Structure 1
Amino acid sequence: MPSILQFTDTHISIDPQGTLKGVNTRQSLTACVELAQQHSAAHILLTGDLSHDASKESYAALHSIITPLNLPVSAIAGNHDITLHMKKFLPQHWLTGECHIENWLCLMLNSSVTNKEHGFISDQELKRAKKVINNTQQDNILICLHHQPVPVGSPWIDAIMLQNAESLFGVLDGHSKVRGILFGHVHQNFQQQQGSLSIIGSPSTCIQFKSNSTEFALAHLAPAYRLLHLDRNGDISSEIFYLDEMQSLEPDEAY
């Protein structure tokens, strides 16, 4: 059974000492990567907000921090990223839009919108998804994107979720090979089952958001990552690994 690592919402900035709400994001990602060395993973998924400022230096730092794991990587943009900068400053083989892991296909969909916090999947990207899903010879499919396609119960973050989620589900409906949807953006653990479809949101490698919160609020939880196990029969199981220590958080205010 293959295992894959998900690192999300890393929020690396141009400044090596850059922090988000008091957490040094380079240090927290480095610590997550070091903890992840214990796993026998086959692949890494980076599900958006990789940079906080879309700078060349931030993407270079991300590449440098991830490289010691010596694993293939698939990456997508979040609302803090700039897709063109990712294409310019990250390895092209990180940005192919899909990867095959045994009898699984991980389909990476771009939900980022320039200068907007909410998500939207373009018609072109939806057409690509439909074509790939219809033509793949893989037995199972995991959809990966940045923005949540379903509400997670916090009105402030659900206001900037995937705006055309119904279009995505329209593409996925009727395809039994599609086993799960994996996303970031929400900085918290979220799991929901819709029939045979597992919908999974994950905590950040830096700060976590308080769940079921009307307004922006931080959860006093350490940086984390998710390890997913993809069974050949289509089942998905996963674990979240939190760092033992966390840096002090700044007061709750919009990030």
Structure 2
Amino acid sequence: MSQRVLQLTDCHLPAEAGTLFRGQDADARLAALVDSLRKQPPFDTLLLTGDLVHHGGPDAYRRLLTLVRPLGCEVYWLPGNHDEPAAMHAADPDGQLGAKRIDLAHWTLLLLDSTANPDGRGRGELASAELDWLQQTLSELDDRPVLLALHHNPAATGSLWQDAIRLGNPDALAAALAPCPQVRALICGHLHQAQAQQFAGRPLWCAPSTAVQFAAGCETFTLETQTALSTPGCRWYELHDDGRIDAHLLYLPAECEESVVDV
């Protein structure tokens, strides 16, 4: 059997439901995407990879969990640069959602916090302690395939404004992965667009946002205007028992968004 892992990212739920984020109702868009995903075969695990709430409090994170609950799978999250760790903790006082290591039947998922040393513009970094934890954990997992998740993209995309706010210490991450072939792939968010790249000799997949998409390859901030690429989206991954991984990309059909507010 294989494991089906769903990635939702960059939800940007506002502090109050109904408040628009860049002209869109982020709650309504996420709800519509979840409703569409319920028509898929069930997922085993949901990873929420950062920028889940846009500077909101615990109630906004609880609202997020209510919106994804119909998917009926195990949920884990990691922070992005717009998240409030204290509010995340208040919404998850037992720390179950913030688990950093998730052991599945044949795979292990490792979740990294890439929000160290913020610069106020969105750039990320892996703290030394985070890198030490990663190296120690990987040393214990030499016989299990690993999928690594973080918020900030470690590879440049050619979008100048976004490359300035990507992961700030990708070389340190690459060095930590160099002796660890069990890490089969990496996934991230942050870009608000689908990307399929390579990092440290491994596949790197970025999922689109559940809220709004940014146009790729731009010098300055630009919203995506192509209809097929501007709707809410996500990725899901099929983790095979033999260590293979298949990545799938899904956008919500435009006709499913009739109730979503645009201004």
Q: TM-score, normalised by structure 1?
A: 0.93
Secondary structure, aligned partner of 2:28:
helix
- Per-residue displacement from partner, 1:167-206 (whole Å, max 9, x unpaired)? 1111111211001110000011111135751111110001
Which residue does the alignment assign to 1:77? 79
**Alignment-derived partner of residue 3 in structure 2:** 2
Structure 1 counterpart of 2:139: 134
Where structure 1 has 5 or more consecutive residues not aligned to the other structure, the ranges are 251-255
Deviation of residue 50 (structure 1)? 0.4
Matches within 5 A, 1:1-255: 1-37=2-38, 38-90=40-92, 92-113=95-116, 114=118, 116=120, 117-136=122-141, 139-194=144-199, 197-220=202-225, 221-245=230-254, 246=257, 247=260
Taking only the aligned residue pairs, the percentage that are identical comes to: 29
CA contact (8 A) 2:31 2:67 kept: yes
Please give the alpha-carbon distance, in whole angstroms, between the structure 2 residues aligned to 1:29 and 1:138: 37
8 Å contact from structure 1 (residues 13, 57) kept in 2: no
Compute the displacement of 1:95 (Å): 0.5
Cα displacement (A) at 1:39? 2.5
Deviation of 1:163 after TM superposition, in Å, equals 0.3
Match of 1:253 in 2: none
- Give the AA of the match of 1:111: S
CA distance in 1, matches of 2:146, 2:252: 30
CA distance in 2, matches of 1:197, 1:29: 30
- Deviation of 1:237 after TM superposition, in Å, equals 1.4
Contact conserved, 1:105 with 1:138, CA < 8 A, in 2? no
In 2, Cα distance between the equivalents of 1:211 and 1:202?
13
Q: Aligned in 2, Cα 1:22/1:127: closer, same or farther, shift over 3 Å?
A: same
Shift of 1:74: 1.4
Q: CA deviation at 1:136?
A: 2.2
Larger CA deviation: 94-103 vs 197-206: 94-103
Give 1:142's aligned amino acid. L
SS of 2:96's equivalent in the other structure is helix
Secondary structure at the aligned position of 2:162 is classed as helix
**Of Structure 1 and Structure 2, which has the larger fraction of its residues in strand?**
1
CA offsets, 1:210-248, max 9 Å, x none?
011111101131001111111223222122211122556
1:224 aligned partner, one-letter code: G
Relative distance call for 1:20 and 1:112 in structure 2 (3 A) is same
Separation of aligned partners in 2, 1:82 and 1:207: 20
